[in-house]
Amino acid sequence: MSNAGPSTGSRSFLSRLWDGDEIARIVTFLFAATVVLITVLLVLQLWHDSSLPRHKFGLSFFVTRVWDPIAEQFGALPFIYGTLFTAAVALLLAVPLGLGSAIFLAELAPQKISDTLQFFIDLLAAVPSVIYGLLGMFVVVPVMRVYIQPALKHSLGFLPLFQGPAFGVGFLTAGIVLAIMVIPYIISVSREVLLSVPRDQREAALALGATRWESTWKVVVPFARTGIMGSIFLALARALGETMAVTMVIGNTPTISASLFSPGYSIAAVIANELTEATGEVYFQSLVELGLVLFLVTFILNGLARLMMVLTTQKGSGMGQV
Amino acid sequence: MKRLTGMLLVVLALGGFVLAQNALLINGAGATFPTPIYSKWFDTYHKANANIQINYQSVGSGAGIKQATDGTVDFGASDGPMNDEQLKAYSDKHGFALLHFPTVLGAVVPTYNIAGVSASLNFTPEVLAGIFLGRITKWNDPAIAGANKGVNLPAEDIVVVHRSDGSGTTYVFTDYLAKVSADWKDKVGKGTSVNWPVGLGGKGNEGVTGLVKQTPNSLGYVELIYAVKNNVSYGAVKNASGIFLKADLAGVSEAAAGAAREMPDDFRVSITNAPGKKAYPISSFTWLLIPAKFSDTAKRDALKSFLKWALTDGQKDAEELSYAKLPKEVVAKELKAINSIQ
């Protein structure tokens, strides 16, 4: 109770309660606790509802490649692979584009253009994911199949990344659609963070003889590093959990392949596709266990994010937290 | 003021009680395939019997069976018959059986997109099983060319498309493949969701059609009604009597009539690859799952009379919505079975 505010100390609990400060404290604490409680209950429910496959398959669930509802053999590996692979492709495409746009909007563009473009970016972030899925299916997939995939195959076909038949659907297409969906998040948050870097940092750099770009890239961006990383992990969270847009463009085939052209599957997509018609307890509970696995993957990645932010903050970038 | 509020509450409570006595609400959930005709039936029946309201949620056959077993709905609906395990789970839980009543018929057709081929292709059971097993990989394979003399099939890889979501359509199609190919039965089996050896997955009939339309040299399977309403080109399939038939409502009803002679009493029958010259081989019933015993006699009587109506007068609505009608032998058998509901 030592940092509770000015009315602590020798006064009794009841008199503090009467004051209103304590009530506010208790009520807001309960609200915060509710969020934690919901998360815990969610995990408990997932754990409880996946008891059959956990006992039947144990840890082999994580490494089995087979997903056979008839033989009741279930394995999560192709879905974990698909989820991580598409998220990685999405981030590889979205981060440079997003960060570059944010730098332009925050540092290099006139105020009016920056605000107008930000409006459009917010609009893009608000589009429902089913629309992105339709856009993916009817626009991106044909373009991929007819132009982009053959071109990549022709020029870079010697790499295992670009081998195999070009269907149009697959990991690359899903990654591209996901990138389009997460870029607005990266731009919005990074732009805010860059704008809030104190002017004296920029001015100090310029005063020392740095060019405009040097001051941006070598001083401002590193200063805002933790905020930018926060935006990237926000984008990653969306990319990992995205369901409808992914299921329309990924090909829905549980395969593990190094090729970007190969069709694949993600955890969210398979749950959305198969849960309502899952007959049989083991089948149903295996899908629930996949949900638990996705939660675990997100949790681990977020943990790593926090760890990275803590480690880089200690190097004295100036901003402790965003 | 307080007295007024009190009186108002009492009046409302009584009023609610009275109203509740008049309208009978029956809840059902299950298969998505027959939703259009069920919606129409429940609506028409309600108009004719204003005190009976039947509410149906199309959540999928799996969820329908689950909810019927849990007892959260009064009746279920499924595109695939329940297996013995599921029936036992139901009767263990409730102490009486869950009865199957076929309501309408549907069929599955093979749809394809081959550059330069506009003719209607013929598919033999061996070809279909071979393609979906990944054994037949090119369109100009001798097995396909043999059934389609005169058609210029390209030497291209076949892009197989199947359903990614669990569905009754998949159940019917895999049931047919399991009957005509021992290999398929062994390696893959039949179900609403299976471990497909090859192919891309599309979500829903729309997803499969979308993928087939966009991807050259592809082959998929969709519901007949869907193919008809969306002008999808589909091929003919060889039936058990050796005749290549393109699916239509008459052919589907024929398949049911053919199977009607040997229909088991619980109506859990698969009518794929049915005997009969005019029978379309990839056809199926869709069932309503009704408990054998009701504790609420009002609900029981309402459902019984609804069923009798749906199996007789209701069948008129089937063809407009592109479902095939039940053959009269099956209807007669079902009407008898309805009397066994207590």
Beta strands in chain A (DSSP E): 67-68, 73-74
Per-residue model confidence as pLDDT tens digits over A238-254: 999 999 999 999 999 99
Residue A230 has pLDDT above 60, yes or no: yes
CB atoms within 10 A of CB A195: 14
- Using the predicted structure, report yes or no on whether residue A317 has a pLDDT greater than 50: no
> Which residues in B lie closer than 8 A to residue A251 (C-beta atoms)?
200-201
Closest CB from B192, B195, B210 relative to A68: B195
DSSP state of B134: T
Contacts of B173 (CB under 8 A, 6+ apart): B108, B221, B282
Cβ neighbours of residue B96 under 8 Å, at least 6 residues apart? B291, B292, B293, B342
Asked if B331 is an interface residue toward chain A (Cβ–Cβ < 8 A), one would say no
In this prediction, what percent of chain A has a pLDDT beyond 90? 69
Q: B195–A251: do the CB atoms touch at under 8 Å?
A: no
Q: Which pLDDT belongs to residue B18?
A: 57
Q: Which residue has the tokens 């997803």?
A: B207
Q: What is the pLDDT of residue A322?
A: 46
Tell me if residue A198 falls in helix, strand or coil: coil
- Chain B residues whose CB is inside 8 A of the A150 CB are none
The predicted-structure confidence for A118-135, as pLDDT tens digits, reads as follows 999 999 989 999 999 999
Under DSSP, the state recorded for B325 is P
Looking at this protein, which amino acid is placed at residue B211? Answer: L
Contact A279 B157 (CB under 8 A): no
> What is the reported pLDDT for B16?
59
Give the pLDDT score at B191: 87
Angstrom distance (rounded) from CA B271 to CA B263: 9
Contact A273 B63 (CB under 8 A): no
Query: Which amino acid is it at A236?
Result: L
B295 reaches A (C-beta below 8 A)? no
Residues 119-138 of B with CB under 8 A from A: none
pLDDT of res. B12? 74
Question: How close, in Å, is residue A274 to chain B by CA atoms?
Answer: 5
Q: pTM (2 decimals)?
A: 0.84
Instruction: Identify the closest residue of chain B to A145 by CA–CA distance.
Output: B215
Those residues of chain B that have pLDDT short of 50 are none
pLDDT > 90 fraction of chain B, expressed in percent and rounded:
49
Q: Output the CA torsion B226→B148→B159→A278 (10° steps).
A: 50
Mean pLDDT to the nearest integer, A291-299: 93
Q: Do B65 and A279 touch (CB under 8 A)?
A: yes
Helix (H) or strand (E) holding B67: helix B61-70
**Which pLDDT tens digit goes with each residue over A170-210?**
999 999 999 999 999 999 999 999 999 999 999 999 999 99
Cβ under 8 Å to A: B residues 158-217: 159, 164-167, 188-196, 199-203, 207, 210-211, 214-215
Alpha-carbon gap, residue B118 to B233, rounded angstroms: 9
One-letter amino acid for residue A249 of the chain: V
CA distance B53 to B2: 37
Beta carbons within 8 Å of A294's beta carbon, 6+ residues apart? A83, A240, A241, A267, A268
Taking contacts as CB-CB distances below 8 angstroms, the residues of chain B near A276 are 59-60, 62-63, 165-166
Q: Given an 8 Å threshold on Cβ–Cβ distance, is B193 in contact with A169?
A: no
Angle at A167 between CA B164 and CA A283, to 5 degrees: 20
Cβ contact A279–B61 (<8 Å)? yes
CB A93 within 8 A of CB A78: no
Q: Which two tokens stand for residue B166?
A: 């669990």
**Of the partner residues A66, A265, A274, the one whose CB lies closest to the CB of residue B165:** A274
Q: Tell me, what's the ipTM?
A: 0.81
Q: SS3 letters for A214-268?
A: HHHHHHHHHHCHHHHHHHHHHHHHHHHHCCHHHHHHCCCCCCCCCCCCCCCCCHH
Q: What is the mean pLDDT of chain B?
A: 89
Q: Do A253 and B199 touch (CB under 8 A)?
A: yes
- Tokens 């239509």 -> residue: B248
> Which of B148, B129, B73 minimizes the C-alpha distance to B272?
B129
What's the whole-number average pLDDT of chain A? 89
pLDDT at A236: 93
Chain A residue with CA closest to B163: the answer is: A252
Closest CA to A262 of A199, A200, A177, A169: A169
The answer to whether A252 contacts B61, with C-beta atoms less than 8 Å apart, is: no
Name which of B62, B157, B195 is nearest A276 (Cβ-Cβ): B62
CB contact under 8 A, B167 and A277: yes
Give the Cα separation of A81 and B31 in Å (integer). 32
Q: Which residues of A touch B62 (CB under 8 A)?
A: 276-279, 284
CB contact under 8 A, A269 and B164: yes
Asked if B214 lies within 8 A of A141 by C-beta distance, the reply is yes
- B-interface mutation test, from A279, A281, A285, most B Cβ less than 10 A away: A279
For residue B44 the two structure tokens come to 């028409």
Chain A residues with CB under 8 Å of B195 CB are 66-71
B272 CA to chain A: closest CA distance, Å? 19
Count Cβ atoms below 10 Å from residue A9 Cβ, excluding itself. Answer: 9
Using an 8 Å CB-CB cutoff, list residues of chain A that contact chain B: 66-71, 137-138, 141-142, 145, 165, 167-169, 247-248, 251-253, 263, 265, 269, 272-274, 276-279, 283-284
Question: Which among B60, B201, B214 is the nearest to A252, CB-wise?
Answer: B201
In angstroms, the separation between the Cα of residue B63 and the nearest Cα of chain A is 5
Look at residue A110 in the predicted model and tell me its pLDDT.
Answer: 92
Min Cα–Cα distance to chain A from B35, Å = 15
Among chain A residues, CA nearest to B190: A70
Q: What type of residue sits at position A322?
A: V
Whether the per-residue pLDDT at A294 is higher than 60: the answer is yes
| pLDDT at residue A321, as a whole number | 47
Supply the pLDDT for residue A256.
94
